[in-house]
């Protein structure tokens, strides 16, 4: 059984994941993420978001890649397409 990576954090894992995804996927800067979360009633510092991105960014990216590849392989006509720019 794997240990929970969020076990030492007081902030719920859903908020941590939301902040990391806002920074990585939306290309928002740390202060913009801080402002957007504050508008939603979540009071955190931009430095905390940076620490979460450093700690959990690769973990979330691996999960996303795994889900994407599994979903693609389940389709009957699964193919890789090479872009002509490459």
For residue 34 the two structure tokens come to 């801080």
pLDDT digits (tens, 9 = 90+) for 34-81: 999 999 999 999 999 999 999 998 888 888 888 877 766 666 666 666
CB atoms within 10 A of CB 19: 26
Say if residues 34 and 49 touch (Cβ distance below 8 Å): yes
Q: Would you state the pLDDT for residue 26? A: 86
Q: Would you state the pLDDT for residue 74? A: 66
Domains of the chain by residue range: 13-74
Comparing CA positions, the residue from 24, 22, 1, 19 lying closest to residue 9 is 19
Of residues 24 and 31, more confidence is placed in 31
CB atoms within 10 A of CB 41: 6
């Amino acid at each position: 059984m794997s240990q929970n990576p969020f076990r030492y954090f007081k902030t719920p894992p859903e908020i941590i994941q939301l902040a990391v995804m806002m920074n990585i996927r939306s290309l928002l800067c740390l202060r913009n993420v801080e402002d957007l979360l504050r508008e939603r009633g979540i009071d955190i510092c931009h430095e905390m978001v940076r620490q979460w991105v450093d700690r959990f960014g690769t973990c979330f990216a691996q999960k996303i890649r795994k889900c994407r590849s599994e979903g693609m392989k389940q389709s009957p006509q699964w193919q890789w397409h090479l872009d002509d720019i490459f």
